[in-house]
Each structure stands twice: as structure tokens, then as C-alpha cells.
Structure 1
Amino acid sequence: MFSPYYKRSGRNEPLAHCALNVALYGPNARWAMTERGRGAVERDTSNLIIGPSAMRWDGEALTIDIDESDKRLFNPWQRKVLGRVRVFPEALNRVAFALDSRENHIWHCLAPCARIEVEMDSPSVRWTGRAYLDHNRGAEPLETGFNTWHWSRAHLRNGALVCYEGERGDGSLFASALRFDAQGVPEPVDLPPIARLPRSKWRVDRRTRSDIGVAEVRKTWEDTPFYARSELASRFLGEDVVTVQESLDMRRFSSPLVQFMLPYRMPRRSI
């Protein structure tokens, strides 16, 4: 949905504009997002192949085989991003939610709680931990439906809490908080108070929710002209939690300057 090539094409053939985005943070940071053409994409009910990378669902885990190269600004030398990620859902949710009244934009939290195993060969890193899996789909461009949105997710002792809010393209506001129990069943809960956050270095507005109206930015993982992803310390439903938070500004995304810059971070190959 952030592809400048897909946007310029008129968005008529999505399978001709597919990419696997890999973001590794920390001392061994890597970032890969190479778009590939229709001839490099195959899919069926359990498999998706995008160039040399692939993912498959076997009924127990989502396995992602990664074979990509990172892209660095002003550096022609690419490093391999090679390894395997396995996501084991601890609960599956079958309910999807519309983010607008016309149901042009649908969000589906597939696995609010999951376990992850990461085994990377390049760079050589291994770890296991908690994970989350969701899915968005839409019948119109994202920048048509939304000006901004803010999303955050926290694991709880039993389940997870997801907050979603923003401004739609028509200027109307939306906001919701969903608690998922240990079986993945969603239940709307009262929205915690707004916890305002400092803008990112690119001056993207960030916002989250917290029981006490306060949250702390522990790390900013992704900081771009239109998108920021951060790790927060906050409090939900009486629990001190570590929260993953995202803020998106689609007006920034649509600007000619950002559209000019994006191909430098997202190269395209026909195969």
C-alpha cells in the first residue's frame, strides 16, 4: 500500500506490485523491501511466494523464509537478509472490523497473541519472544480513506489490548479499544485517556492511550517522513505494559517529495 510504483500505475493490478518488508533493529539492523512483478509472485490457500522469499501456513505456524537484500540510502553495496521466522498463534480471532462506515477499509487481528522464533543467517541473530499478526485490506487507496491513524498493541497477562484511532479522509474521527482474551475473542472496552507523545524526528505526530494519560517512548524503531514505529512504556487495564505503537500520516505519504524519495528505499525488480 506504500508502493510508489503501484500508486503511479493506477493500482489496477496488485499482484504486479508485491514485496516482503523485513525490518531488523538493533546492532545488526537491516531493512529490505524490494518490489517484484507479477511473474515473481505465486499463491494458493496456504502459500505465498514473492521472488526468492516465501511464506506458508501449515495449520500450526506461519513460516516465513526470507531471502532478500537490504537497501541503504547513498550506499550501492547491499547486504543479504537471509533467514527464517516462524509465528505460532496462541489464539486465533475470526472477527474482522470495518474502519469506515462504507466498509472500504477492513482490519483483521488474526492472532492477538503469538509466539515467535527468529533464526537469521545474515545477519547471524537468533531469538524467541512474543508476537502479533494482523491484516488490512481495502477497496480504495489508503490516502483516500485516511489522513492519519495511530495504532498500539500490548500483551496483557491474559490476552492483548489494541487501540486504533485517527482521522478519516472526510475529516471525521474514529477511535476504539479492543481487548482480546486468552482465546482470541475480542471485546470492546472503554478507551483509556489520550497519552500524547513527542513528535518523531521527522515531525510525525504520535499518539497513544494509557490508563493514566501518560506513556514513555522507550525506543523509536522506524522514523520516516510519513510513518513512525515505537516501543512505549504505558499502562493498560491496571497492568504496566510494553506497547508497540505506530503513527501514519497519509497526507505526508502523498506529497510529491515523499513519492520522489520512496524508490530509493524501495527498489523494484520485474522478477
Structure 2
Amino acid sequence: MSACGTRAISIIAFIGSVFSPWYRWSGRRSPDNNVCINVATYGRGGRWTMTDRGRDALRQTEDSFTVGPSGLSWDGTTLTVDINEVSTPHCQRVQGTVKIHPAAVTGVEVPLTADGAHIWRPFAPTAEIEVDLGRSGWQWRGHGYFDANFGTRALEADFGYWTWGRYPTKAGTASFYDVARRDGTDLEVALSFDRTGGVSVMDAPPKTRFRRSNWLVKRETRADPGTTPRQVKAMLDAPFYNRCGVETTLHGERVSGVFEALDLDRFRGPWLMPMLAVRVPRRPGWNFGD
């Protein structure tokens, strides 16, 4: 998010594009044949890109990840994202560079299921971000975050609902993962990260509901007793997924960060896939020699 709070960007690199209808329709047999770098910008003139590509578009090295015309690279201190995508439905070019400068890189891994089939890896919970998309108003700096999720089963096979939140604090970053598993158990993760990469388990305030999304997705995050979180910036609003800027209170500190809610009961409904196909075009071929 920008320091002024008016702009934001989300970038997700996929091998096995979990929200792609094309991946589901393929039977999810070949993750490397459904790859994507999803870029969403929020604020005036915000755009959405999520092109599902085939295995010919994928290139990987120890310190780089490329999908067609876009890619990520790591030089030991900075993660650089080179973006060259086309938005839907506007069909406009989204092109430029984003740099994420971590304050530190953690060694934390959190299993989200008892058998370790799903792992959350918060690489850099505290970071600075530098955005230059070559358009008026889209050169800015702010606070950033870099994590990853790994899984060997479909999300909707193991989870019914989850929320995630990341809030910059005076000490560094507070991050929450609250998961309702399909086996009837719940997982509650509350971690505090300092600026050197140190991590400690938080005494988490209670889960507190706030207004549902426009698609009526349930939303709840952590907040001190007697306080209520509130949305301060609209971002992604979908029938099964909500991302927004949220202000809440944690141990007396008023903080603003990014919140996500994912309703996987809705996501596994077959009625949703044709809707997603409109926002997620499929481009199976790519030639790096072009």
C-alpha cells in the first residue's frame, strides 16, 4: 500500500493457478501448464490482469521466475517484479517495475493442515515497496509484504473458510491466519515480526466481525475488545474472495493493513467457473524467441 493510503498493488505468481477455471477444468493434473503472474492495482485507474498460460511460458532459475512477458528476480536484497500484462476487461497494457525491499527475511514455515499438505511461508512480513508503472499517479512508495503458500491438494478440498491479515505496527508487523478446516478443526495463527526478522507468538485479540463485503462474504479479523475493525480501502470484491484495506486496534495500537477473506464453500460451486473465465483469459502458447 502507498504511504498515503490511496494506492495499492497485489502481485501473485502461480504454478498451478488455484483460482483459474482452466486449471480446475483440466483436472489439475499439470500445475506447470497453468501458470500466471496476477497483478491487481487499486486506486484511481486501477486495473486487473490474470492471464493463465501454458508450460511453454514458464522459466525458472534459482533466483528468477518468469511467466511469458513478466517475471520476478531476487538479487539477495531486493525482489524485482517486471510487469508486462494486459488488463481485463479494459484491454490496457499494465507495464512497469515493482521492487520489494525486505527489512529481513524470516525462516518461518507454518503448516495449515496436520499432514503438512498446505504450508504458509511468510518470507518478508515487513518490507518497503517501490512502484513505477509508467502512468500518472502510479509512481509511489509504501509498505509491502512478501509471502508464499504451497499445497499438494486443492484448497477447497481441505478448507471451508479462511481469513488472513497483515498490519504494520510500531514494532514491525502483526499477521493473522484463521482457518476453518473441512475436518471440523480450526487453526488460529497470530505472529508478531520485528524488523530484524525475529518472530514471536502474539497474545491475539479476539476475532471480531465487521461489515460483510458487497458480495456478502463474511469478514472477521482481530481487534481489541470493545473495538470494531472497519474497511478503509476497497480492493478486490468477488463472490468468494474479498481483499481490502482495514483499520483495527491491536493491544491499544490503531493500525491499518491488508485483509483477505476466502469462502471456499462458494469457490467449489460449479456455477462460479464460467464467471471466472471472463476475468481469467487462457493463453496456452508462448515463444520466448518472439
TM over 0.5: yes
TM-superposed deviation, 1:171: 2.3
Task: Return the TM-score normalized by structure 2.
Answer: 0.89
Contact 1:109 1:133 (C-alpha < 8 Å) held by counterparts: yes
Aligned residues: 267
2:249 is the counterpart of 1:244: no
- Match for residue 59 of structure 1 among 70, 76, 91: 76
Within 5 Å, which residues of 2 pair with 1:110-125?
110-122=123-135, 125=138
Q: How much has 1:123 moved relative to structure 2?
A: 6.4
How far 1:220 moved relative to its partner?
A: 2.2
Write the letter of the residue equivalent to 2:190: A
Q: Is 2:114 the partner of 1:86?
A: no
Deviation at 1:219, TM superposition (A): 2.1
Shift of 1:79: 0.5
The runs of at least 4 aligned residues of structure 1 exceeding 4 Å deviation read none
Q: 2:276 aligns with which of 262, 265, 271?
A: 262
The one-letter code of the counterpart of 1:217 is Q
What amino acid does structure 2 have at the position aligned with 1:222? Answer: L
Counterpart pick for 1:105 among 92, 110, 118: 118
Amino acid at match of 1:256: P
Q: How does 1:12-31 map to 2 (within 5 A)?
A: 12-31=29-48
CA shift for structure 1 position 11: 1.5
Q: Which residue of 182, 187, 190 corresponds with 2:195? A: 182
Contact 2:211 2:230 in 1 (8 A): no
Inter-partner Cα distance in structure 2 for 1:247 and 1:186? 24
Query: 1:233 — aligned with what?
Result: 247
C-alpha separation between the residues in 1 aligned to 2:197 and 2:256?
19
Q: Which amino acid aligns with 2:231?
A: V
Report matched runs for 1:213-224 at 5 Å: 213-224=227-238
Give the TM-score normalised by the residue count of structure 1.
0.95
* RMSD (Å) for aligned C-alpha atoms: 1.2
Give the C-alpha shift of residue 122 in structure 1.
4.7
Q: Which amino acid aligns with 2:213?
A: S
| One of 221, 227, 242 as aligned partner of 1:208 | 221
Aligned residue for 1:171, secondary structure, equals coil
Deviation at 1:55, TM superposition (A): 0.9
Q: After TM superposition, list the pairs within 5 Å mapping 1:153-164 onto structure 2.
A: 153-164=166-177
Give the C-alpha shift of residue 143 in structure 1.
0.5
**Once the two structures are aligned, what percentage of the paired residues are identical?**
39
Q: Secondary structure at the match of 2:35?
A: coil
Q: Distance in 2 between matches of 1:14 and 1:144?
A: 16
Q: Using the alignment, how far apart are the partners of 2:26 and 2:276 within structure 1?
A: 15
Alignment correspondent of 1:126: 139
